Structure 1
Amino acid sequence: MATMPDLVLRDIHQSTAPSWWPPAVGWWWVGAALLAIVCGLAGWRMFRAWQRRRWQRLFDREVAVAGDAAGRIAAMSSLLRRAARRHRSDADRLQGDDWLSFLDAGAAGAPFSTGAGAALRDGAFRRDAHALETTALHALARRRFVGLMMGRGR
């Protein structure tokens, strides 16, 4: 075997590492999927906020149409009963403490049974309904109405 004196051998050189930009196609797909998820969640939250404001305006408008305090309490009760039917088919037929217990479901401190919400039991039929605290009842009933309409029944 003859040696070749003019053959020059050199070390193996590693090629340079690929740059991080532009990323591979798979990373573009991952980025697009993440962006779609974030946009979808933001859109859902904006839609739910719009829906919540719509239900609040409806509640306020219906209660404002009623003239006196007894009429406002009756309007609040009617709206709550219509909203309650979304979660329980017989909820609009509940009476007295059963009705207030249904409204208390999921609320801390039983605000309808023992708090300002107790005026819904007979407030629409009282002569001195103007003496009741209708402002606190309005806020409480509005919050529960929106919760029922948004799907947070129990």
Structure 2
Amino acid sequence: MGETEKSKSESRKTSYWGEWKEFWAERFSFLDNYSRFLNPEKPLPRHWDSSDVEQFVASDPIYGPTLKTTRKVANFGAAGAVVGAVSTAGMAWKYSKSPHGAVLSFAFGAVVGTTFGLEIGSHFHQLYRLDPMASQVKFFEWLQNKAERESKQY
């Protein structure tokens, strides 16, 4: 194969994949809306904990309580994951004595339990009346601003 044939085939590959890349980039252009969260200009602090969340809750009277409620609902999801995983794995082990079946049912039970736990918690705390995504975005921005203020102090 000559050098010109090689360069032609490489350019065809590039144009072919370039076309597909453009095609799918056009179809998934809505993901650009999330680029500020996935690739932030100002990096978030590596370590933040519940005290940062409590500071945000105290400083923001609108989005703070919503974020606090969202964190309570997350506890329902975690409890649902534990209950779902252990109960389904226990049933699978009891009736089949199959280790791989118990592991798979453990994973499936965790997913289903999380889903039901989040739904139950959402209805219990009436999260459908609030906007949890907006509160999480405001917390993200608050955390970025806090990191920027702390970096300027040093």
The structure where helix makes up a greater share of residues is 2
TM-score for both structures, normalised by structure 1: 0.31
Compare CA radii of gyration and give the structure with the larger one. 1
